[in-house]
Amino acid sequence: MKRSLPVWILVVVTLASSITIIPLPATAAQPDAAISNVSLTPSDPAPGEEVTISTTITNRNGNEGAIKVIGLSVQKTVTSSVEAETDDFSEIQPNGSVSIPLSLTFDEPGEKRLTVRAVVRDGNGQTHIYRHPVYVTVEEPDDVQLEFDTAEAVTGGTSVNVTTVNSRSDAISNVQLELGGSPAVDKAERVTASIEGASEKSFQYDVAFDEPGRHIIRGNLTYTIAGDVSRTITESVSVSVVNPDEVSVSFSTTDAAAGDETPVNVTVSNGRSGPISSVQVVLGGNGSVENTERTQASIGSGSQRSFTYNAEFAKVGQQPLTAEVTYRTAAGYTRTVQNTIAVDVEEPHVEAGLSVTTNNSETAVELTNFGNTVFSDIQVTATADGDVIAKRLLADIGPEGSGSTHFEIANEVRGTANFTATYESVGEIHETSTTADLTEEVLGEIRLTSVETMQVGPRVTIEGDASNVGSTDAESVLISIQGDNEGSEYFVGTVEASEFATFELTAQPQGDASAVPIELSYIVDGERMTTTQQVEVESGNSSMAMPGPGPGAEAGAGQGPPGSGSGQGPPGGSGGGLLSMLPVALGVVVIGVVAFGIRRWRQHS
């Protein structure tokens, strides 16, 4: 049997530990048990809110057997009355633990010192008491708040924005906001599943006030925090409601970049039945505004007047600008209206693009602003071979805008020209460049060159080159025999600029025709062109093509290989005449075959 510990050792252990152990008089050994953990849910309770204190008791006796919790309570102090207790008799096996919850509430805010008291019975029937201090801070919750935006509250219909701000580190869920008070509210209840920690959610309401004066708007917010704890807060705001002013102020602005000037237009509209006079507009806010005050002698009924300012913002984010307008009515009363906007200011992004297009002798250069800053002091310079040909100035270009200028330098530059745009943005000089070929473009044109003909009997073989004498491609080139002459056609296809393609046709001229008309059909720059060339025909000899004026007759569809044209046989005659011509014909055939072979060899060598 274990020996009991001296009293002075128990005192030392009590002072050194956060757990106070006061054994009942017994001769048995103290069980190795402990209150190992005490947790609160929620950890930051509010007055009147139920708090759950979970106490974990651990049996550290590996071999001594089970222990049993026979009592657990929470006290204000060691000797004070019990705040909460349970008689849940929980048995704890060796090296095991059990967590026992107790619930209580605090009526008043403040610092609370509590003591958890556990009564444990060991396997020998001996009873032992364990205590653990607990400190709780009870305060009104302020980590979730409501913010009201009631700018320009007027009688009749108006909008109210209510923002739920969650300043907690964790999310809140089951968020339900109900708006009430003096005004009539359309769709008063709004819900959202959750709002993340350190974030916010805005709800816009349409409300209606019956009359001017002070009115109360009240928001009731219910939400749930960690531990499935539900909370409710109610906040109110007093609103000054006025009749709608018949003079209004509006804004328009482009994207704003920090450190760069941003144009801001302020428009004053007079909706009154009479004119207003002595109009004074003052623009101010977080931005640095150049020439903040503007004046206008009068603005007629139903008219408006715009004032342009340049504002510069030092920081990124939403920056407020407020325009205040003071004027005098026709009855002599001085009134003031104002309006505020939040300008989204971003980090400066400078990006430009330069493009060149040429049309005959005129060259257009366009500078595009792809960034969010303003381009100023813009100059475009044209150079060739290191020499400056011309310079042009452009007006300021705002974000996502562009400006263009024209040069007439095609007669001065033959070949490539360089174009450089320099401009100032965000206090620095920038430039962008591009090049363009100013060589005058000549449209593709097909002509027949190196044409040779050979006639054998009634048939004429025509071969040569379809040459493109222009500087653009010619597409769908078709060469065909036209007129009363029967013959073939030859599809060449595409002939690139300054290139040629060979062709071969077979024709059978009618009568004593000394030339064969050949039609050239092709497409250039999306437009079909048709011309006709006359090719002289001499029996047994070669001849050159002659250009013929005007378009020829329309060719039949299809494509044929060289020499595939249809022809008729020689006309019939007497046998004697044919025999007398046979030697001559054979000679012509031999000469033709030799000439044709030489031609073919030269083309393919």
603 lies in some domain: no
User: What residues does 470 pair with on adjacent strands?
Assistant: none
- At 247 the pLDDT is 87
Average pLDDT in the 7-19 region? 34
Please indicate, yes or no, if residue 268 is contained in any of the structural domains.
Answer: yes
Position 334 confidence tier, pLDDT thresholds 50, 70, 90: confident
64-78, 115-129, 189-203: segment of lowest average pLDDT: 64-78
**What letters, b where the CB count within 10 A reaches 16 and e where it falls short, cover 467-490?**
bbebeebbbebbbbbbbebbbbbb
Last residue of a domain, one of 531, 548, 565: 548
Query: Do both 58 and 77 map to the same domain?
Result: yes
pLDDT at residue number 548: 44
Co-location of 484 and 450 in the same domain? yes
pLDDT in tens, 422-462: 999 988 999 999 998 877 677 889 999 999 988 887 888 89
Is residue 466 included in any domain, yes or no?
A: yes
CATH for 488: 2.60.40.1230
Q: Cβ(419)–Cβ(400) under 8 Å? A: no
Residue 535 has pLDDT above 50, yes or no: yes
| 16 shares its domain with 123 | yes
- Contact (CB, 8 A) for 160 and 217: yes
Report the pLDDT value the prediction gives residue 586, as an integer from 0 to 100: 56
Q: Is residue 575 part of a domain?
A: no
pLDDT at 596: 54
Q: Tens digits of per-residue pLDDT, 162-174? A: 999 999 889 999 9
Which 8-state DSSP code applies to residue 254? -
Query: Which three-class secondary structure state does DSSP give residue 383?
Result: strand
Q: Structurally, how many domains does the chain consist of? A: 5
Looking at 138, 169, 200, the residue that finishes a domain is 138
Looking at the fold, whether 154 and 236 belong to one and the same domain comes out as yes
- The CA R_g of the chain, rounded to the nearest whole Å, is 50
Final residue before a domain boundary, out of 241, 259, 285:
241
User: Which residue reads 């379809």 in tokens?
Assistant: 466
CA distances in angstroms from 276 to 242, 281, 499, 597, listed in the order given: 20, 13, 77, 100
What's residue 578's pLDDT? 39
pLDDT in tens, 495-529: 998 899 999 998 887 777 788 889 999 999 889 99
pLDDT of residue 49: 84
What pLDDT sits at residue 484? 62
d(CA 144, CA 8): 51
In a domain, 596, yes or no: no
Residue 598 lies in a domain: no
pLDDT of residue 546: 46
pLDDT at 21 over 70: no
What is the average pLDDT score of the chain? 80
Provide the residue type at 410 as one letter: A
Lowest-pLDDT range, 88-102, 214-228, 255-269, 313-327? 88-102
Q: What percent of the chain has pLDDT over 90?
A: 39
pLDDT over 70 at 373, yes or no: yes
112-122 per-position pLDDT tens digit: 899 999 999 88
For residue 20, the model assigns a pLDDT of: 38
- Indicate which CATH number applies to the domain containing 289: 2.60.40.10
Could you give the 3-state DSSP secondary structure of residue 303?
coil
Same domain, 103 and 130: yes
pLDDT digits (tens, 9 = 90+) for 246-293: 888 998 887 788 888 888 999 999 988 889 999 999 999 888 898 899
Distance CA 233, CA 168 (A): 15
- In tens, the pLDDT along 549-596 reads 433 333 333 333 333 333 333 333 333 333 344 444 555 555 555 455
Task: Print the domain residue range for 225.
Answer: 144-241
Does residue 604 register a pLDDT over 50? no
Q: What is the pLDDT of residue 166?
A: 94
Give me the percent of the chain exceeding a pLDDT of 70: 78
Provide the whole-model pTM.
0.37
Residue 335 is predicted with a pLDDT of 79
pLDDT bracket for residue 416 (50, 70, 90): confident
Compute the half-sphere exposure of residue 143: CA atoms within 13 Å on the CB side of its CA.
18
Q: What is the 3-state secondary structure (H, E, C) of 557-569?
A: CCCCCCCCCCCCC
pLDDT at residue 552, as a whole number: 37
What is the rounded CA–CA span in Å between residue 285 and residue 341?
Answer: 10
Q: Is residue 574 in some structural domain?
A: no
The residue ranking higher by pLDDT, 11 or 112, is 112
- The enclosing domain of 24 has a CATH number of 2.60.40.150
Q: What pLDDT sits at residue 66?
A: 87
How confident is the model over 382-408, as pLDDT tens digits?
998 888 989 999 999 988 899 999 988
